A = this chain, B = another copy of it.
Amino acid sequence: MGRPREFDEQAVLDAAVQSFWKRGYEATSIRDLVKSTGLTGASLYNAFGDKQSIYRRALDHYVEGSIGERIRRCEAMEPRAAIEAFFRDILARSIQDEECKGCMLVNAALDVAPEDPGFRAAVAAVLQRLEDFFLSCVSKGQEKGTITLAWPAEDLARHLLGVLMGVRVLARVKPDRALLEGIVETALALVERNPIDSRDRRPGPGGRPG
């Protein structure tokens, strides 16, 4: 069996996430990780493999714990309220994010994804998951009458994904409440059902499913 590990893998991943999240892939060295995780370089390589693998494990760990958790929490809610809760949570976190770390997934999307096909696919898959979450909310909300019928559910979901990315980028440079709230409030009002929905203003292909 051999000597048992002295560290908790989850705690080590938490620390690795913090390092990579704040400074990015290139700017974080193995020696930085040694400092932040508390274990030695050899242990890191034994447990996770090379630097890319460590980053990948950290990113997956972040995604499951942060994004996946948020999606799961919101999926249990009423569709329209789920979208609102999702964005209000993002908004609150972005404004109180004093280190301006933003979202590690978004950072990864511009940092490692364009260079490495593996990372790119991983990031794209999570983006798809977010789009699917929004699409599910919008579709259900359209059926229930709480979400506007003025646009196809697909386009509304894509719009929400785009707005989410935009908020996350701006929060890293200008974490200004008025700016971020202005973006989100407008988006939330956009998806809201309103009187004009009685007519088909923009039928478009693939409109209301079901």
User: A residues near B, CB below 8 A?
Assistant: 23-24, 26-27, 100-102, 106-107, 109-111, 113-115, 120, 123-124, 127, 131, 150-151, 154-159, 161-170, 172-174, 178-179, 182-183, 185-187, 189-190, 194-196, 201-202
Contacts and interface: CB of A to CB of B under 8 A. Distances in A.
A139 to B, nearest CB: 14
Contacts of A24: 26, 111
Given A123-B173, A155-B186, A161-B179, 10 more contacts: A102-B114, A109-B170, A114-B173, A155-B183, A158-B183, A161-B183, A163-B163, A166-B166, A169-B169, A190-B190
B167 A114 contact: no
A113 B172 contact: yes
B202 A189 contact: yes
